[in-house]
Amino acid sequence: PAGGGRRSRACDRGVLAGSLGDLFGRPGSLAASRTASADMPANLDARSTPVVDGFDPLDPGGTSAFSTTVTVYDSLGAAHDVNVYFENTGPGTWTWHALVDGSEIDGGTPGTPVGGATGDLTFTTDGELDDEAPGTSSWDFVGATPGQTIAFDFGTSITGDGGTGLDGVTQFSEDSSTTSISQDGFASGEVAGIGVEADGTITGVFTNGQRRTLGQVAPGPFRSEHGLARSAHTLGGDTPEPGEPLIGGAASGRRGTVVSGALEGSNVDLGSEFVDLIQYQRGFQASSRIITTADEMYQEVVSLKR
């Protein structure tokens, strides 16, 4: 027996609030979220040489040693390709520049790159990230909230973060390459599918690739199931004897787990039921034969009297 159709409500961030309520009919949409940070681990080739005239925003590819691209999202959920260029400024020192096409910035000129963020990186002679000094970061994407800041993270530096300097950007004598790129923004999305875990957690999969906890089924077993009042269709009614239902999360305490996408099988033993059916059928046939025989006897008695 369970509480039936109960769940712990979930807030927009996918965190269960703990209060009980009816299960939803149809989950809503997920609002867009602007990008606030971007992680860009990579290796910068220590063999590269500085550009004589420095970095030129109008010729970023020709005045940088390496570049990569990350897709970010503004406050409206619109995607923008940000190109990040790495300029070698000397032994163990680099400057990075993040640019987008001018058509994506208020007041920008299509085809002309516009910078939105910059910063400096320094490395040890072992190729470890020693320190990072981020500069300004401000993006006025077309139609979106102006002044959007995006923190570009290149790893835990030794001096600045007290890290190893090896879990982000490194500087080894190998070809420059990006190991991974991630950012925390996304466009708006609708629920594309729902899954239910063994503990009753209901997870929504959205069209924008995000996953959010939408709620949790909360079963409620009774202290004594035998004390429930039997009802039709294998249902049990609440009575004072078994006490209050112990509502809580599935797979905790005495509560069972939830099996999703499965149809509950019959609790009837088909073999036994077929045997019983044959017995009833034979009994019916025997009873019919007795009635037929008795009728024939009565007819014979009537004939003798005549």
Question: What tens digit of pLDDT does each residue of 259-272 get?
Answer: 877 777 777 788 88
pLDDT tier at 3 (50, 70, 90 boundaries)?
Answer: very low
* Helical spans, DSSP H, in the chain: 158-161, 270-305
Give the DSSP letter of residue 4.
-
**How do residues 240-264 score in pLDDT, each as one tens digit?**
666 667 777 777 776 778 887 777 7
Burial 23-40 (b: 16+ CB within 10 A, else e): eeeebeebebbbbeebbb
pLDDT tier at 239 (50, 70, 90 boundaries)?
Answer: low
The rounded distance, in Å, linking the Cα atoms of 109 and 115 is: 12
Q: What is the pLDDT of residue 258?
A: 82
Per-residue pLDDT, averaged over 33-39, amounts to 96
The rounded distance, in Å, linking the Cα atoms of 123 and 46 is: 10
Q: What is the pLDDT of residue 112?
A: 95
pLDDT tier at 165 (50, 70, 90 boundaries)?
Answer: very high
Average pLDDT, the chain: 85
Q: What is the pLDDT of residue 299?
A: 84
How buried is residue 203: exposed, middle or buried, by Cβ count under 10 Å (0-12/13-18/19+)? middle
Angle, alpha carbons 208-209-214 (nearest 5°) = 95
The rounded distance, in Å, linking the Cα atoms of 96 and 269 is: 72
Q: What is the pLDDT of residue 194?
A: 84
More confident residue, 288 or 23: 288
Which of 115-119, 135-139, 206-210 reaches the highest mean pLDDT? Answer: 115-119
Residue 19 has pLDDT above 70, yes or no: no
The rounded distance, in Å, linking the Cα atoms of 75 and 5 is: 36
- Residue in this structure with the two tokens 């300004």, named with its chain if needed: 136
The rounded distance, in Å, linking the Cα atoms of 167 and 61 is: 26
**How do residues 186-224 score in pLDDT, each as one tens digit?**
999 988 888 888 888 888 889 988 888 888 887 777 766
Q: What is the pLDDT of residue 226?
A: 65
Residue 77 has pLDDT above 90, yes or no: yes
pLDDT tier at 24 (50, 70, 90 boundaries)?
Answer: low
More confident residue, 306 or 51: 51
In Å, what is the CA distance from 186 to each residue of 69, 71, 145, 151?
16, 10, 15, 16
Residue 52 has pLDDT above 60, yes or no: yes
